[in-house]
């Protein structure tokens, strides 16, 4: 035991002293930080876009400006809800229903779903000022006042020399230098880049498509023309299209004698849908946000397991190959038994893996404590839900069993190879085994007790991943007991076998053995 | 009879049809320096690995330090394998400390021992250097020290001299003698006969897994006849009648290049009890004019060439 501890400690220190170890430890928190700051920096950095709208038909100018204003209000609304979440007095995830019936979240949902009426409701009820007044009692004291975001799109006047009644082709010709960025547009607040031109020709209504019509041929100039170099920012064309569609539908209603107010009211009528959990106790069937997290938590665990196990077993493999090619192994084997050596290695490198996971979790906490905001609050609560869930014992069990199984396998492979190159070639099929359950991860969460998933769970190399994946969905007892028993048996078998291969393999030189030779080695009494 | 620390009794190790060790028996007395000699591929390393139970014999018994299993007494054994290697990123002193600790020493005495040995054998300045920064010879010295830092009763060194320069070979010989004086038993394998000749109380000569000779160096030398080399133009056939002369042969190999025209080189083998002066006196008495008379005691090298030379040569062309 003393010897195992000694070997484990040396392996641990050896691993911890490598640059690769620190890289792995630091990379995850760094990516996390980077993603967070990049995202918030980017959302603030999106510039105000300037566009020209020319309506030769005279029918849609208002619709376009309303659409643009809506886009602004939408931004205000989203920011405001975020502000609300960040500054409300208490956040109790258990109490906030998953279907977000509270008014603000509903509003965001509606806006995101492009519901025509949603923004109108917001504007009708007094917009931001009213919302602020309503929300104040629920907000913490001494907070920063809400800062209204700038409008994302601003209409500018066309250059004075432009003849607005000229043919669309000539207008485009005249504005091309501005659109291509060669020239800037003069406005009251200085010269700006022209982001887009919305050109509504006289004959725009020819572009209206009704049920039964064939779609317009590609490249046809019928309908509204949207000219812009940047075709990835689709917020403006989407808003304009939605606005004009609302306008023509309104006219259509009138022509067909339908009362538009009735239509609006109908559109704003909705049914609530309550997700309920049949396995929960009476009175607690309502599915909370925390429950949803809990269902998805296995994915986080599976992923954590995969990253950590892959790192560990690869280290184990390269370490064994190195020791073998350095011939250190022979000195060691004169001092310790091959089983002690193997157990020491497994323990030491497993410990290093736990250090990695521990450091990651710690860095999450530090990150959350240091950057207290709406998003990090959420991460913190997710973390709390996960750490407080009954999945932890599962994770610990499957982590260790997965580690024992895979490391036994990789140790045996490592002991048969003389160079890292050889080892990597033999390792590829092993990695594939790990990829299979990983690729199924999202599917398994949605349908955890599916027949195929149940069947695959019985394959010991998949068991830790798949059963972890299914842990939140109360898998049938026979699956839990059966796969666990099979897993434990295979671990014992694997460690025994790899101990044997290890003892025979480490002193071998030359090519890795052929399958037949391997079989002979295993069945030999040596 | 002296106490023995290692006994092999009809040990056999086979790999399929190949016999790596073929029925070897030996006994090594406590406190002696014992050499395993043999050509490449003779089975020295396999024998050593079998003794240490790194591999198990196919049949036969091994008793080491009074135990059936080397693993039970492994803390009392020190081992330097043939192919040398150490953890590259560890420092010299911590490697010695680590291996001493694996052998049961506690942390602080292992550390003290490491530094004491580094100082005694001229590596003090490199104690804090990483193994990868040391030269091959220095690394090997560190490994020898790591193998013996726990002051084992039985030290087994496989080819300890290979890769060392003459100065460090002397340092290693000194270390081996120090350990023997300390009452430790040392077994080492080599194919450099001079080391064995200078150090060993006893040797084992093996070839193709089989024991060819086992005994003291003097006994080994006695196994081949002593030789007298004569150069003369006269007829010396009468020498064969002298008591104790085994054979008189023309040394054809040397004569073609060295003897001129009418003189010839003769090789006379004599028994151990015979005084070579008798041969010289016979020549004077019979007016045999000698242009050369050479007598030399056979060296271990001659013994080696005599006993296993043919096999070693064959092996190298296999």
Over 70: is that where the pLDDT of A308 sits? yes
Residues of B in contact with A331 (CB under 8 A): 79-81, 85, 99, 143, 146-147
Task: Give, as one character, the DSSP assignment of residue A138.
Answer: G
B83 chain-A contacts, CB cut-off 8 A: 327, 330
Residue B20: per-residue pLDDT? 87
Mean pLDDT, to the nearest integer, of A303-321? 83
Distance from the Cα of B83 to chain A's closest Cα (Å) equals 6
Interface residue B81 vs chain A (CB under 8 A): yes
Residue B71 CA, distance from chain mean position: 25
User: Are residues A94 and A171 in contact, defined by beta-carbon separation less than 8 angstroms?
Assistant: no
Q: Which residues of B touch A3 (CB under 8 A)?
A: 102
Residue A23: the pLDDT is 85
For the beta sheet containing A225-228, the strands, ordered from the edge strand earlier in sequence to the opposite edge, are: A153-155, A49-55, A196-200, A225-228
The domain spans of chain A are 2-32+290-523, 48-267
CATH 3.40.50.300 maps onto chain B at: 4-221
- Say if the Cβ atoms of A331 and B74 lie within 8 Å: no
CB B52 within 8 A of CB A334: yes
Q: Does A247 touch chain B (CB under 8 A)?
A: no
C-alpha dist (Å) from residue B48 to A1, A160, A331, B21: 27, 100, 12, 10
> Residue A334: which of B77, B101, B143 has the nearest Cβ?
B77
pLDDT score of A299 more than 70: yes
Mutate to test the interface with B, among A4, A319, A331 (most CBs of B within 10 A): A331
Please check whether residue B116 is in contact with residue B66, taking contact to mean a CB–CB distance below 8 angstroms: no
Query: At the topology level of CATH, where does B225-297 sit?
Result: Alpha-Beta Plaits (3.30.70)
Least CB-CB distance to A331: which of B88, B99, B101? B99
A343 inside 8 A of chain B by CB: no
Residues of chain A neighbouring B80 (CB-CB closer than 8 A): 331
Q: Interior CA angle at A351 toward A346 and A354, to 5°?
A: 125
Q: In this predicted model, what pLDDT tens digit does every residue of A484-498 receive, in sequence order?
A: 999 999 999 988 888
In the CATH scheme, what architecture does the domain B4-221 have? 3-Layer(aba) Sandwich (3.40)
Confidence of residue A99 (pLDDT cuts 50, 70, 90): very low
B85–chain A Cβ distance below 8 A for any pair: yes
Chain A residues close to B79, C-beta within 8 Å: 331, 334-335
The tokens describing A46, both together, are 């999106």
* Cβ atoms within 10 Å of B62's Cβ, excluding its own: 19
Cβ contact B111:B119 at 8 Å = no
Please state at what angle helix A391-416 crosses helix A289-325, rounded to 10 degrees.
20
Tokens 């690769």 belong to A20
φ, ψ for residue A52, nearest 5 deg: -115, 130
Rounded to two decimals, the ipTM of the complex is 0.74
pLDDT at A262 over 60: yes
From A17, A331, A526, residue closest to B81, measured CB to CB: A331
State the average pLDDT over residues A499-524.
Answer: 67
Instruction: Transcribe A246-263 into DSSP letters.
Output: HHHHHHHHHHTT--HHHH
In sequence order, which residues have a C-beta less than 8 Å from that of residue A37 and are 6 or more positions away?
Answer: none
What is the DSSP-derived secondary structure letter of residue B35? E
The reported pLDDT for the residue numbered A513 is 62
B54 touches chain A (CB under 8 A): yes
Confidence of residue A100 (pLDDT cuts 50, 70, 90): very low
Stretch A11-26: mean pLDDT: 84
Q: Is the pLDDT of residue A175 over 50?
A: yes
Query: Which residues does chain B have within 8 Å of residue A14's beta carbon, measured at their own beta carbons?
Result: 87, 89-90
Q: CATH 3.30.70.1340 occupies which residues in chain B? A: 225-297
Tell if the CB–CB gap between A334 and B55 is shorter than 8 Å.
Answer: no
Residue pLDDT tens, chain B, 318 long: 568 899 999 999 888 788 888 899 999 999 999 999 988 888 888 899 889 888 888 899 999 999 988 888 888 999 998 877 788 888 999 999 999 999 889 999 999 999 999 998 888 899 999 988 988 888 889 999 999 999 999 999 999 998 888 988 999 999 999 999 999 999 999 888 888 888 999 999 898 888 888 888 888 888 888 888 888 888 777 888 888 888 888 776 554 455 455 677 888 888 877 888 888 888 888 888 888 888 877 888 888 888 877 766 665 544
Q: Considering only CA atoms, which of A265, A224, A271 is closest in space to residue A248?
A: A224
Predicted local distance difference test score (pLDDT) of residue A126:
73
A86 token code pair = 């960040």
Using a CB–CB cutoff of 8 Å, tell me whether A507 touches chain B: yes
Q: Does A526 touch chain B (CB under 8 A)?
A: yes
Which has more confidence, A205 or B259? A205
Contact B71 A17 (CB under 8 A): no
Helix H or strand E encompassing A480: helix A477-505
What pLDDT digit, counting tens, does each position of A267-280 carry?
777 777 776 777 66
**Cβ contact B102–A336 (<8 Å):** yes
Long-range contacts of A374-377 (CB under 8 A, 24+ apart): A374/A82, A374/A85, A374/A86, A375/A36, A376/A36, A377/A85, A377/A86, A377/A91
- How many Å apart are CA B313 and CA A405, to the nearest integer? 49
B98 at interface of A, judged by CB pairs closer than 8 A: yes
Best of B12, B15, B20, B54 to mutate (most A CBs within 10 Å, chain A): B54
Kindly list the residues from chain A whose CB atom is less than 8 angstroms away from the CB atom of residue B84: 327
Given this model, what pLDDT does residue B157 score?
93
Chain A residues whose CB is inside 8 A of the B102 CB are 3, 6-7, 332, 335-336
CB pairs under 8 A between A and B: 57
pLDDT of A293 over the 80 cut: no
């Amino acid at each position: 035991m003393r010897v195992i501890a000694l070997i484990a400690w040396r392996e641990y220190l050896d691993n911890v002293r490598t640059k690769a170890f620190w890289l792995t430890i630091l990379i995850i928190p760094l990516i996390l930080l980077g993603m967070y700051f990049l995202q918030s920096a980017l959302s603030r950095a999106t510039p105000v876009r300037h566009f020209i709208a020319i309506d030769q038909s005279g029918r849609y100018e208002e619709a376009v400006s309303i659409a643009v204003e809506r886009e602004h209000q939408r931004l205000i609304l989203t920011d405001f809800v975020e502000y609300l979440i960040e500054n409300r007095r208490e956040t109790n995830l258990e109490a906030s229903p998953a279907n977000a019936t509270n008014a603000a979240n509903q509003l965001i949902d509606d806006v995101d779903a492009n519901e025509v009426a949603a923004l109108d409701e917001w504007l009708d009820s007094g917009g931001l000022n009213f919302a602020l007044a309503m929300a104040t009692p629920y907000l913490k004291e001494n907070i920063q006042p809400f800062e209204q975001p700038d409008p994302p799109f601003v209409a500018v006047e066309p250059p004075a020399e432009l003849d607005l009644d000229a043919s669309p082709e000539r207008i485009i010709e005249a504005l091309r230098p501005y659109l291509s960025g060669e020239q800037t547009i003069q406005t009251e607040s200085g010269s700006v880049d022209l982001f887009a031109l919305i050109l509504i020709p006289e004959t725009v209504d020819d572009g209206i498509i009704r049920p039964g019509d064939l779609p317009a041929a590609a490249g046809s100039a019928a309908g509204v023309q949207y000219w812009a170099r940047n075709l990835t920012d689709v917020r403006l064309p989407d808003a304009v299209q939605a606005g004009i569609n609302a306008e023509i539908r309104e006219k259509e209603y009138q022509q067909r004698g339908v009362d538009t107010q009735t239509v609006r009211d109908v559109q704003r009528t909705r049914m609530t849908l309550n997700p309920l959990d049949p396995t929960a106790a009476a009175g607690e069937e309502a599915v909370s946000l925390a429950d949803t997290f809990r269902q998805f938590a296995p994915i986080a665990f599976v992923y954590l397991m995969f990253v950590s196990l892959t790192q560990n077993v690869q280290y184990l493999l390269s370490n064994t190959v190195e020791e073998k090619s350095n011939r250190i192994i022979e000195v060691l084997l004169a001092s310790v038994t091959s089983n002690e050596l193997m157990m020491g290695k497994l323990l030491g490198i497993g410990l290093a893996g736990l250090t990695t996971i521990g450091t990651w979790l710690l860095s999450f906490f530090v990150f959350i404590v240091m950057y207290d905001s709406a998003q990090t609050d959420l991460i913190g609560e997710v973390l709390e839900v996960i750490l407080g869930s009954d999945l932890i014992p599962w994770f610990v069990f499957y982590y260790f069993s997965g580690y024992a199984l895979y490391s036994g396998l990789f140790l045996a492979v490592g002991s048969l190879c003389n160079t890292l190159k050889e080892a990597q070639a033999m390792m590829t099929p092993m990695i594939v085994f790990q990829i299979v359950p990983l690729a199924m991860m999202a599917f398994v969460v949605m349908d955890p007790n599916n027949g195929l998933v149940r069947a695959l769970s019985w394959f010991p190399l998949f068991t830790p991943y798949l059963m972890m994946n299914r842990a939140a969905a109360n898998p049938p007892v026979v699956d839990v007991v059966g796969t666990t028993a099979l897993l434990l048996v295979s671990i014992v078998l694997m460690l025994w076998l790899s101990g044997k291969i290890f003892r025979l393999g480490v002193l071998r030189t030359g090519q890795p053995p052929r399958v037949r030779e391997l079989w002979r080695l295993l069945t030999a009494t040596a | 009879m002296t106490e023995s620390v290692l006994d092999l009794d009809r040990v056999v190790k086979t790999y399929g049809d190949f016999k790596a060790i073929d029925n070897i028996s030996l006994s090594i007395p406590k406190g002696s320096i014992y050499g395993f000699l043999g050509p490449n591929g003779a089975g020295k390393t396999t024998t050593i690995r079998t003794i240490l139970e790194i591999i198990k014999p196919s049949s036969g018994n091994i008793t080491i330090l009074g135990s059936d299993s080397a693993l039970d007494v492994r803390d009392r054994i020190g081992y330097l394998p043939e192919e040398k290697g150490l953890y590259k990123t560890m420092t010299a002193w911590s490697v010695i400390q680590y291996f001493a600790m694996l052998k049961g020493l506690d942390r602080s005495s292992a550390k003290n021992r490491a530094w004491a040995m580094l100082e005694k054998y001229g590596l003090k300045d490199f104690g804090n250097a990483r193994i990868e920064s040391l030269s091959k010879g220095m690394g090997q010295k560190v490994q020898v020290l790591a193998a013996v830092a726990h002051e084992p009763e039985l030290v087994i060194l496989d080819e300890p001299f290979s890769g060392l320069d003459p100065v460090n070979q002397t340092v290693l010989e000194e270390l081996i003698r120090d350990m023997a004086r300390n009452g430790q038993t040392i077994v080492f394998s080599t194919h450099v006969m001079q080391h064995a000749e200078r150090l060993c109380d006893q040797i084992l000569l093996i070839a193709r897994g089989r024991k060819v000779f086992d005994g003291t160096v003097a006994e080994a030398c006695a196994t081949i006849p002593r030789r007298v080399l004569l150069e003369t133009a006269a007829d010396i056939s009468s020498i064969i009648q002298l008591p104790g002369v085994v054979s008189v042969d023309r040394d054809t190999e040397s004569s073609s290049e060295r003897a001129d025209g009418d003189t010839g080189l003769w090789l006379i083998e004599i028994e151990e009890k015979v005084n070579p002066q008798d041969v010289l006196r016979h020549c004077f008495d019979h007016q045999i004019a000698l242009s050369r008379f050479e007598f030399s005691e056979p060296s271990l090298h001659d013994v080696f060439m005599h006993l296993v030379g043919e096999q070693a040569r064959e092996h190298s062309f296999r």
